[in-house]
């Protein structure tokens, strides 16, 4: 098994908690960052631009993605240009459609033609990958973000789609495929095995990198010890009198 340091896939930290982001910034395995409005709302952020500019003031040498949040393509375009102006390392996240299901391909192509670096997000079908790749083909560096974890949530194996996406992007060296919304550490190794360039990973999964290749006999014993310790701490006993039914 490869050590985390020997992986080819790049690991981007996914989140919007400033403390966690700055902690991950110190980790040499983390080569980029992504956020989205849902994560920012959960983190209690109320001033979108102030938060973004504050983070960029420190994380200014690795790619970081911030998403537009309008549902109107003209307004998305204005937001994208503003977000892109915040830093040369900023990628603008554009959803593959708006909430009405209308494809954002025209906007994506327009921004690519203007030299805006994009992270096209919420992709889940190979047709979407193909169409987005075409829209980005003549533009600058960009990410094609396929939500493999959500695909897996539907009981579909995402690996065939991800492998096919790698091939679709191969003629365009400025485009990189993101394995988004992973569900477990194993997904990092699966992404690496098929040649996916990037995987976005939450802080809880990143912390599991420390146990890659751990001896399973040792891990088993530690698990048994955990169960025993928690039972003792809880004061469980089968000698206690049974509670009477109310």
Annotated active-site residue 117? The verdict is no
Q: Is 91 exposed, middle or buried (0-12, 13-18, 19+ CB in 10 A)?
A: buried
DSSP letters of 160-208? HHHHHHHHHHTT-TTEEEEE-S--STHHHHHHHHHT-SEEEE-HHHHGG
Closest-CA residue to 164 (of 126, 208, 209, 124): 126
**What pairs with residue 145 in β-bridges?**
178
Task: 76-82: list long-range contacts, CB under 8 Å, 24+ apart.
Answer: 76/104, 76/107, 77/107, 77/110, 77/111, 80/107, 80/111, 80/116, 80/118, 81/111, 81/114, 81/116
**What pairs with residue 199 in β-bridges?**
11, 179
* Tokens 């095995």 sit on residue: 193
Say which of 10, 82, 93, 207 is annotated catalytic.
93
Catalytic residues: 93
């Amino acid at each position: 098994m490869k050590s985390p340091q020997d992986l080819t896939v790049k690991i981007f930290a996914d989140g919007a908690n400033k403390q966690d982001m700055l902690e991950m910034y110190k980790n040499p395995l983390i080569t980029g960052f992504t956020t989205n409005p849902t994560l920012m709302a959960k983190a209690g952020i109320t001033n979108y631009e102030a938060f973004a500019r504050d983070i960029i003031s420190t994380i200014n040498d690795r790619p970081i993605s911030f998403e537009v949040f309008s549902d109107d393509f003209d307004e998305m375009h204005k937001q994208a240009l503003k977000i892109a102006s915040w830093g040369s390392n900023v990628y603008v996240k554009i959803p593959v459609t708006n909430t009405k299901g209308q494809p954002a391909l025209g906007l994506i192509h327009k921004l690519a033609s203007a030299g805006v670096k994009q992270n096209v997000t919420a992709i889940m079908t190979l047709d979407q990958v193909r169409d987005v790749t075409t829209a980005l083909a003549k533009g600058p560096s960009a990410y094609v973000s396929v939500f493999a974890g959500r695909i897996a949530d539907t009981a579909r194996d995402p690996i065939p789609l991800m492998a096919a996406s790698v091939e679709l992007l191969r003629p365009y060296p400025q485009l990189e495929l993101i394995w988004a919304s992973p569900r477990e550490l194993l997904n990092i190794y699966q992404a690496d095995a098929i040649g996916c360039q990037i995987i976005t990973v939450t802080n809880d999964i990143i912390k599991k990198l420390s146990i890659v290749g751990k001896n399973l006999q040792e891990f088993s014993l530690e698990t048994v010890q955990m169960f025993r310790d928690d039972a003792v701490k809880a004061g469980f006993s089968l000698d206690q009198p049974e509670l009477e039914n109310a």
